[in-house]
Structure 1
């Protein structure tokens, strides 16, 4: 099974990339994908061949918990 690591070109990942329904029509968004061996890959949709970030499921769960609790709200434009 292929090993996926941080910094690999996102186009090398044999996955289905998904993005939020709230993403801008011009494609400026973050896309994520489940990896075959577990974990999640993340990429910038404006650079689909650029580097991907690979994270573990537990790391994504911790991040999502922080998002839901508003811990990153100060990073958003307009806050």
Structure 2
């Protein structure tokens, strides 16, 4: 069982989700992460992270649909 905080964006408006996720990422200290819970595969978000923060994040699928997607997004340790 993960001790990472969960960010469930399923009830948030789609236009606001990336903003919430990115602000949560920016609050992470090195070596920590959070679990994103979403209602679709957040692949476009992965591409955004990869373009804006190359090598500065980790991305691990914990559950891959069809109803719920869970991804651990982390900030690598120093």
Q: Same fold (TM over 0.5)?
A: no
- The structure that is helix-richer by fraction is 2
TM-score by length of 2: 0.31
- The structure that is strand-richer by fraction is 2
